Structure 1
Amino acid sequence: MRSSNIEVPVKLVYLLGLGAFALGLDAYVTAGLLPVIADDFDASVSATGQMVTTFTLAYAIASPIFATLLSASRVRTGLLASLAVFAVANAGSALAGSLGLLLIARAFAGVGAGLYLALAASAAASLVDEKRRGRALAMIMGGMSSGTVIGVPLGVFIAQHTSWRATLWLVAALGLIAFTGLALRLPQLPAGSSVTLRQRAQVVTDPRVASIVGVSFLAAIGSLGLYTYIAPVMKAHAMGGVDNITPYLWAWGIGGVLGSLLIGPLVDRVRRPQTLVVGILALLTLALAVMRPAAGVSPLLALLPLALWGAVGWALQVPQQNDLLLARGDRGGSVAVALNESALYLGSAVGSGLGGIAFSTGIGGATLPLCAAGAAFLALVLQLTGVRAASKRRPLPATEHTAAVPAQSCN
């Protein structure tokens, strides 16, 4: 009986992670498909690039809105519905006969992806006991990072040897597999305490949530924003003039997968998760700051800070999600996680925009890692001041520290 109690929730978390893998693949692979999609529709790359913008904006804006409107007693329904929308929207993207229809389909895919990831984190936390919550959340983030590192090269390879539509069919198929498995095996998740829509909306004004989300936003400006320009950055003369960027992408990506998976047990063992976040942000700042000096010695030496950057950049979101679920529990935990995911995408967009401005004004690519380190340092300062101050100002009763009463136990 004991092994059965452990096995069932773990398999369900794997299915949730498979859905996250499809999301990670879908969110990043389209950037690599832009040229072939532009040729197919006889459109400019800049116009076709709006499919990335549409997905991102829909993800960032719609996710917290729908998470707020969704009743706490209907998490399972919302989880399956969001995954179904995501899969159908990707099928619609593969079938789109015009750029306009493709943009509409990408918007729906973004809505489904954003809501699913927020609900998947909440569901994963409720399926296991509190001692295993970090590992469950790490499985979700591990799925996202693996979808980026493993799925994106695979998706581009498929597109090169068949068509870009085949890649989107793959995303739709992965979403359908995860949907089918969850529909058949996922139990009705425990409903949280009865709260009004107004109370769930008040998550936005919670000082602790706002400060945690602010940390994620600043970290994303530095980490994800810089990743957008990793190729021109490494090509800069001061960075070694690297032409083949592939090893550096793999170093960042493999570090990300390992970081997002290995951070789970640490979250479960560390009694003060905020201290863990401080350490992660300090390492992120250090990794970004030493990229240029390391590359100045040898471009290959830059692989080490790149791997560390990927590891801590992806690892950060596991304790962040855990802290948000501890802060809000069943009083809007999924809304808080959705806000955090929105902050990541908005931070990435802001970081990319600032990077573009830097290049247009003549600031060299070798300077961007230092700018990114500055953003990560600001996140560290906010963590040391705002998050800790908000936590001390509004302590929560012990009964509210759990995200939900576990539906099944892993112990």
Structure 2
Amino acid sequence: MGGTRAVALLALGSFAMGTDAYAMAGLLPDMGADLGVSVSLAGQSVTAFTLCYALAAPLFSAVLARWGTRTVLVTALVVFILANSGTALAGSYAELLGTRALAGAGAGLFTPAAATAAVALVPPERRGRALGLVLGGMSAGTVLGVPLGLLVAAGSGWRAALWLITALGLAALLGVATALPPVRGAAAPSLRDRFGALARPRVAVVVTVTFTQTVASLGLYTYLEPVLHRVAEVDSAVPYLWVWGIGGVCGSFLAGTLVDRTGQPARLAVTLLGILGGALALLPWTGAVPGLVLLPLLVWGAVGWAFVVPQQHRLLAQDGGAAAVGLNSSATYLGGAAGSALGGLALAHGLDARLLPLLAAGAALAGVLFHLTVAGRLTGPAPHLPDTAHGAGAADTTAAETPERNAS
């Protein structure tokens, strides 16, 4: 199987992950009603997913990395399938939290491994496109998988949507287990190497900015349905989630091409983050004009997903880039967990959901200010990607993000 076909196979798995991660925002009201909890409390199942992704996945991937990339991918998909089956069968809030945490661990193993494998399977000049394709698979899950899952939920209940996600995971498992070629590369970095990368100022800046971006983007996405209800009196979030996802697909694919052609991932990343902050700040004021709310949603989806690609590219250019990218992956979902937890806490204490986008915009713009203030003090030219796989091969499983998501 050629490199491009192999990357497309990895994108199929990312599609299942994207459907799972982002369909939850539309299922929270029904899940909460079924299990006897509020929407804000049900939203903490998203926090469990993202927090487990951020904290548990690096530990598991470091242990499993010696098994090889394909084994790690298969293991991750098996965990993902079992977890979503458990969510579909959950009879209590505790079971919901536990199975969503397990699903987060599975996604946290798969998505970074898929990104590192994609980088290793293509020539150096196509790495940006390969990363964009894998990320595009996840964002495509928001365009096709999320609306499909919500339509299934509307007709047959939220549990049926989880069975659909389980089936997608099973299809990805069969493809990866039988058709993925060997992936060669350097050994995976140790946990000491992963966290030691934070001592490098360039890495610390990138990872911190990623955290602020996902607090804003993934954190707000968790409560998009109540936000839309207050902003534009929306009854069903499905078409709006679809528009957000379409923007995400476009941003994912275009970002890789822009990185490859401009060679300026840092400038691209901070520009995208500034646009995200502006789009979120405008969102609460769009309800007065019918349909206008779609515009900031489209922009939010596009720049939110596109942001991940230049960030990954910057870190892969560092010495020991695989360890640095692993930290970025954790920062992505740790930010999402923090954002969804804080958003749920704010709603539980009576904050008008219409104001949540303004808080999210503040987090995004704080990331811009931090980058402009701190990054300017770092002297010396940024490193360039060498012609090797940057350690992004067989055993490393910590390269990407998503979801967000973003993806979130």
Same fold (TM over 0.5): yes
Please list, as runs of the form range in 1=range in 2, the aligned pairs for 1:185-204 lying within 5 A after superposition: 185-192=179-186, 198-204=192-198
Counterpart among 11, 18, 25 of residue 5 in structure 2: 11
Contact 2:211 2:335 in 1 (8 A): yes
Q: Report the CA distance between 1:18 and its aligned residue.
A: 1.0
Which residue in 2 is equivalent to 1:127? 121
Q: Offset of 1:126 from its aligned partner?
A: 0.8
Match of 2:365 in 1: 377
Q: Retained in 2: the 8 A contact 1:13–1:139?
A: yes
Q: Is structure 2 residue 251 aligned with structure 1 residue 259?
A: yes
% of aligned pairs identical? 48
Q: Are 2:288 and 1:309 aligned? A: no
> Would you say the 8 A contact 1:20–1:143 is kept in 2?
yes
> Counterparts of 2:385 and 2:265 in 1: how far apart (Å)?
16
Q: Per the alignment, in what secondary structure is the counterpart of residue 327 of structure 1?
A: coil
Task: Specify whether residues 352 and 257 from structure 1 end up closer, same or farther in structure 2 by C-alpha distance, changes over 3 A only.
Answer: same
Is the alpha carbon distance of 1:273 and 1:401 closer, same or farther for their aligned partners in structure 2, counting shifts above 3 Å?
Answer: farther
Conserved? CA contact 2:84–2:99, under 8 Å = yes
Change (3 A) 1:132 1:388: farther
| Deviation beyond 6 Å, 4+ runs, structure 1 | none
Cα RMSD (Å) of the superposition?
3.3
Q: Which residue of 2 aligns with 1:300?
A: 291
Distance 1:389 1:65, change over 3 A: farther
**Deviation (angstroms), 1:68:** 3.5
Q: How does 1:34-53 map to 2 (within 5 A)?
A: 34=28, 37=31, 43-45=36-38, 51-53=45-47
Specify whether residues 205 and 179 from structure 1 end up closer, same or farther in structure 2 by C-alpha distance, changes over 3 A only.
Answer: farther
Computing the radius of gyration from Cα coordinates, the structure with the larger value is 1
Taking the aligned partners of 1:195 and 1:258, their CA distance within structure 2 comes to 32
User: Of the two structures, which has the highest relative contact order with CA contacts closer than 8 Å and spacing of 6 or more?
Assistant: 2
- Distance of aligned partners of 1:325 and 1:67 in 2 relative to their CA distance in 1, 3 Å threshold: farther
The alpha-carbon distance between structure 1 residues 8 and 285, as it changes in their structure 2 partners (threshold 3 A), is: same
Name the amino acid aligned to 1:213.
V
| Letter aligned with residue 290 of structure 1 | L
String of CA shifts for 1:148-201, please: whole Å, max 9, x gaps: 232122112223333544433322222222222222222221131686553344
Aligned AA for 2:330?
A: S
1:155-170 to 2 correspondence within 5 Å? Answer: 155-170=149-164
Q: Does 1:111 find its partner at 2:105?
A: yes
Native 8 Å contact 2:26 2:238 kept in 1: no
Q: Which residue in 1 is equivalent to 2:402?
A: none
Post-superposition offset of 1:83:
2.0
What corresponds to 1:351 in structure 2? 339
In the aligned structure 1, how far is the partner of 2:285 from the partner of 2:14? 36
- Shift in alpha-carbon separation, 1:164–1:284, aligned structure 2, 3 A: closer
Q: Would the alpha carbon gap of residues 231 and 125 (structure 1) be closer, same or farther in structure 2, given more than 3 Å must change?
A: same
Contact 1:115 1:338 in 2 (8 A): no
1:325 is aligned to 2:316: yes
Assess, with a 3 A threshold, how the Cα gap between structure 1 residues 76 and 205 changes in structure 2: closer, same or farther: farther
Equivalent residue in structure 2 for 1:271, among 263, 276, 287: 263
1:227 CA displacement: 2.7
SS of the aligned residue for 1:300 comes to coil
Give the SS at the match of 1:301: coil
Give the letter for the 1:306 counterpart: L
Paired residue total: 393
User: Relative to 1, partners in 2 of residues 1:233 and 1:388: Cα closer, same or farther, differing over 3 Å?
Assistant: same
Q: Which moved more, 1:373-382 or 1:50-59?
A: 50-59
- Using a 3 Å threshold, how does the CA distance of structure 1 residues 160 and 241 change in structure 2: closer, same or farther? closer
Q: Which runs of 5+ in 1 are unaligned?
A: 1-6
Find the aligned partners of 2:38 and 2:141 in 1 and give their Cα distance. 24
- Distance in 2 between residues matched to 1:153 and 1:80, nearest whole Å: 27
Distance 2:247 2:7 in 1: 22
AA at the equivalent of 2:368? L
Whether 2:390 is the aligned partner of 1:403: answer yes
Question: Would the aligned equivalents of 1:85 and 1:108 in 2 still touch at CA under 8 Å?
Answer: yes
Structure 2 regions of 5+ residues with no counterpart?
395-408
Corresponding residue for residue 405 of structure 2: none
Contact 1:242 1:299 in 2 (8 A): no
Deviates more, 1:140-149 or 1:313-322: 140-149
Greater shift after overlay, 319-328 or 351-360?
351-360
Q: Distance in 1 between matches of 2:111 and 2:296?
A: 29
Cα distance, 1:104–1:266 mapped onto 2, change above 3 Å: same
Aligned partners of 2:119 and 2:130 also within 8 Å: yes
Indicate whether 1:286 and 2:278 are aligned.
yes
> Does the C-alpha gap of structure 1 residues 67 and 326 become closer, same or farther in structure 2, counting only changes over 3 Å?
farther
Residues 99-145 of structure 1: CA deviation (Å, up to 9, x unaligned): 65554433322211111111111111111112111111111211212
Per-residue CA deviations over 1:315-367 (Å, capped at 9, x if unaligned) read 10111122222225xx361x433432332333233333444455566655444
Task: Report the counterpart of residue 209 of structure 2 in structure 1.
Answer: 215
Match of residue 80 from structure 2: 86
Separation in 2 of the partners of 1:360 and 1:163?
25
Kept after mapping to 2: 8 A contact 1:68/1:201: no
Matched AA of 2:295: L
